[in-house]
Structure 1
Amino acid sequence: MATPGADASAERLDRIVVESTGLERAPAFEVPASVTVVDLRAGNDDANASVSEALDGIPGVLARERQNYAQDTQLSIRGFGARSTFGVRGLRLYADGIPATMPDGQGQISHVSLLDADRIEVMRGPFSALYGNSSGGVVRIIGVDGLDGTDMRAQATFGRDDGRTVGARLRGGGEFVDYAVLAQRFATDGYRDHGAARRTLGNARLQVAIGDAATLRLVANAFDAPDAQDPLGLTRAQLQADPRQAAPAATQFDTRKSVDQTQLGLVYEHAVSADQTLRAMAYAGRRGVEQFLALPVAAQANPLNSGGVIDLAGRYGGTDWRWSWHTELARRPLELSVGLAADRQRQARSGYENFVGDRLGVRGGLRRDERNEVGNVDRYAQAFWQFADRWSLLAGARHSAVRFESRDRYVTAANPDDSGRVDYRETTPVAGLMFSPTQDLRWYVSAGRGFETPTFNEIAYRADGGAGLAFDLRPAVSRTVEVGAKWRSDNGATVNAALFRADTDDELAVARNVGGRSSFRNVGAARRAGIEAALRVPLGEAWHLGAAYTRTDATFRDGFALCSGAGCTTPETVVAAGTRIPGVARDQMSAHVQWEARDWTAVLELEAVGDVTVNDTGSERAAGYALLHLELARQWRVGDGTLRGFVRVDNALDRGHIGSVIVNEGNGRFFEPALGRGVLVGARWDWSAR
Structure 2
Amino acid sequence: MKRCRRLFPAIGLAVALPATVSAGTAPATLDAVQVQAARVHAVDDFDLPASMTSVGVDEDGAGRGALVSEALGGVPGLLARERQNLAQDTQLSIRGFGARSTFGVRGVRLLVDGVPATMPDGQGQLSHFNLLGAERIDVLRGPFSALYGNSSGGVVQLWSADGQAGDPWRLRATFGSDNSRSLGLQLRGQAKAMHYNVAASDYRTDGWRKHSAARRGSLNARLGFEPAPGQRLDLLFNVLDAPHAQDPLGLTAEQARTDPRRATAAATQYDTRKSVRQAQAGAVYTLDRERRTWRLMAYAGQRTVEQFLAIPPAAQANPLHSGGVIDLDGGYGGVDARWAWHGALAGRPLELVVGANADGQRQHRTGYENFVGDALGVKGRLRRDQRDRVGNVDQFAQAWWQLGPRWSLLAGARHSRVRFRSDDHYIVAGNPDDSGRRDYAATTPVAGLVFRAGEDLRLYASAGRGFETPTFNELGYRADGGAGLALDLSPATSRNVELGAKWRNQAGARLELAWFRADTDDELAVAGNIGGRSSYRNIGATRRQGVELGWLQPIGESQQLQLAWTRLQASVREGYFTCTGLPAPCIVPRNPVAAGSALPGVPRQQLHARWRWQPGPWLLAVETVAASATPATDLGDARAPGHALLNLEASRRWPTAHGPLRLFARVDNLLDRRYIGSVIVNDGNQRYYEPGPDRGWTLGLQWQWAPR
Deviation at 1:562, TM superposition (A): 1.1
Q: Select between 482-491 and 43-52 the one with higher mean Cα deviation.
A: 43-52
CA distance in 2, matches of 1:410, 1:459: 17
Matched, 1:211 2:228: yes
Q: Select between 659-668 and 411-420 the one with higher mean Cα deviation.
A: 411-420
Contact 1:16 1:28 in 2 (8 A): no
2:215: which partner in 1? 198
1:116: which partner in 2? 133
1:288: which partner in 2? 304
Contact 2:530 2:586 in 1 (8 A): no
Q: State the secondary structure of the residue aligned to 2:254.
A: helix
Cα distance 1:249–1:515, how it changes in 2: closer, same or farther (>3 A)? farther
Matched, 1:579 2:597: yes
Which of residues 417, 432, 435 is equivalent to 2:451?
435
Q: State the secondary structure of the residue aligned to 1:251.
A: helix
Residues 391-417 of structure 1 deviation map (CA, whole Å, 9 limit, x = unaligned): 000000000000000101111121111
Which of residues 277, 287, 291 is equivalent to 1:260?
277
CA distance in 2, matches of 1:682, 1:461: 46
CA distance in 1, matches of 2:420, 2:62: 43
Which of residues 289, 292, 303 is equivalent to 2:319?
303
Deviation at 1:641, TM superposition (A): 1.3
Deviation at 1:510, TM superposition (A): 1.2
Amino acid in structure 1 at the alignment position of 2:248: P
2:109: which partner in 1? 92
1:5: which partner in 2? none
Residues 51-107 of structure 1 deviation map (CA, whole Å, 9 limit, x = unaligned): 111000210001000001100000000000101111111000011111100000000
Matched, 1:542 2:531: no
1:355: which partner in 2? 371
CA distance in 1, matches of 2:486, 2:664: 50
Matched, 1:246 2:263: yes
Which of residues 600, 603, 609 is equivalent to 2:618?
600
Q: Select between 505-514 and 569-578 the one with higher mean Cα deviation.
A: 505-514
Matched, 1:530 2:507: no
1:74: which partner in 2? 91
Contact 2:33 2:41 in 1 (8 A): no
Q: State the secondary structure of the residue aligned to 1:412.
A: coil
Contact 2:517 2:545 in 1 (8 A): yes
CA distance in 2, matches of 1:529, 1:639: 55
Count of paired positions: 675
Amino acid in structure 1 at the alignment position of 2:187: L
CA RMSD for the aligned pairs?
1.4
Deviation at 1:508, TM superposition (A): 0.5
1:334: which partner in 2? 350
Which of residues 19, 24, 34 is equivalent to 2:51?
34
Contact 1:20 1:138 in 2 (8 A): no
CA distance in 2, matches of 1:516, 1:316: 28
Deviation at 1:22, TM superposition (A): 3.1
Deviation at 1:202, TM superposition (A): 1.2
Matched, 1:680 2:692: no
Residues 492-545 of structure 1 deviation map (CA, whole Å, 9 limit, x = unaligned): 111000000000000001112467632211000000000000111112222221
Deviation at 1:344, TM superposition (A): 0.2
1:54: which partner in 2? 71
Contact 1:400 1:426 in 2 (8 A): yes
Alignment of 1:393-542 (within 5 A): 393-513=409-529, 517-542=533-558
Contact 1:305 1:466 in 2 (8 A): no
Amino acid in structure 2 at the alignment position of 1:487: W
Matched, 1:173 2:190: yes
CA distance in 1, matches of 2:590, 2:413: 41
Residues 300-330 of structure 1 deviation map (CA, whole Å, 9 limit, x = unaligned): 1110111111111111000100100001111
Deviation at 1:176, TM superposition (A): 2.1
Deviation at 1:279, TM superposition (A): 0.2
Amino acid in structure 2 at the alignment position of 1:330: A
Q: State the secondary structure of the residue aligned to 2:46.
A: helix
Contact 2:477 2:484 in 1 (8 A): yes
CA distance in 1, matches of 2:430, 2:33: 61
The runs of at least 4 aligned residues of structure 1 exceeding 4 Å deviation read 15-20
Amino acid in structure 1 at the alignment position of 2:205: T
CA distance in 1, matches of 2:417, 2:321: 31
Contact 2:132 2:200 in 1 (8 A): no
Cα distance 1:515–1:659, how it changes in 2: closer, same or farther (>3 A)? farther
2:7: which partner in 1? none
Which of residues 139, 143, 146 is equivalent to 1:129?
146
CA distance in 2, matches of 1:150, 1:268: 24
Cα distance 1:20–1:71, how it changes in 2: closer, same or farther (>3 A)? farther
Residues 256-297 of structure 1 deviation map (CA, whole Å, 9 limit, x = unaligned): 0010000000000012x2000100000000000011111111
Amino acid in structure 2 at the alignment position of 1:387: L
Residues 98-145 of structure 1 deviation map (CA, whole Å, 9 limit, x = unaligned): 110000000001111111100010000000000000000000000011
1:11: which partner in 2? none
Matched, 1:387 2:403: yes
Deviation at 1:149, TM superposition (A): 3.5
Contact 1:640 1:689 in 2 (8 A): no
2:26: which partner in 1? none
Q: Percent identity?
A: 59
CA distance in 1, matches of 2:385, 2:284: 36
Amino acid in structure 1 at the alignment position of 2:476: A
Contact 2:39 2:45 in 1 (8 A): no
Q: State the secondary structure of the residue aligned to 2:497.
A: strand
Q: Select between 153-162 and 206-215 the one with higher mean Cα deviation.
A: 206-215
Residues 601-634 of structure 1 deviation map (CA, whole Å, 9 limit, x = unaligned): 1111111101011000001111010010111111
1:667: which partner in 2? 685
Amino acid in structure 1 at the alignment position of 2:154: G
2:651: which partner in 1? 633
Cα distance 1:623–1:563, how it changes in 2: closer, same or farther (>3 A)? same
Unaligned 5+ segments in structure 2 are 1-31
Deviation at 1:19, TM superposition (A): 5.7
CA distance in 2, matches of 1:437, 1:298: 67
2:637: which partner in 1? 619
Which of residues 163, 174, 177 is equivalent to 1:157?
174
CA distance in 2, matches of 1:157, 1:383: 47
Cα distance 1:41–1:231, how it changes in 2: closer, same or farther (>3 A)? closer
Amino acid in structure 2 at the alignment position of 1:374: V
Unaligned 5+ segments in structure 1 are 1-14
Residues 410-456 of structure 1 deviation map (CA, whole Å, 9 limit, x = unaligned): 11121111111100000000000000011110000000000000111
CA distance in 2, matches of 1:324, 1:16: 10
Contact 2:65 2:132 in 1 (8 A): yes
Contact 1:17 1:26 in 2 (8 A): no
CA distance in 2, matches of 1:72, 1:540: 39
1:10: which partner in 2? none
Which of residues 654, 675, 689 is equivalent to 2:672?
654
2:661: which partner in 1? 643
Cα distance 1:314–1:80, how it changes in 2: closer, same or farther (>3 A)? same
CA distance in 1, matches of 2:60, 2:44: 23
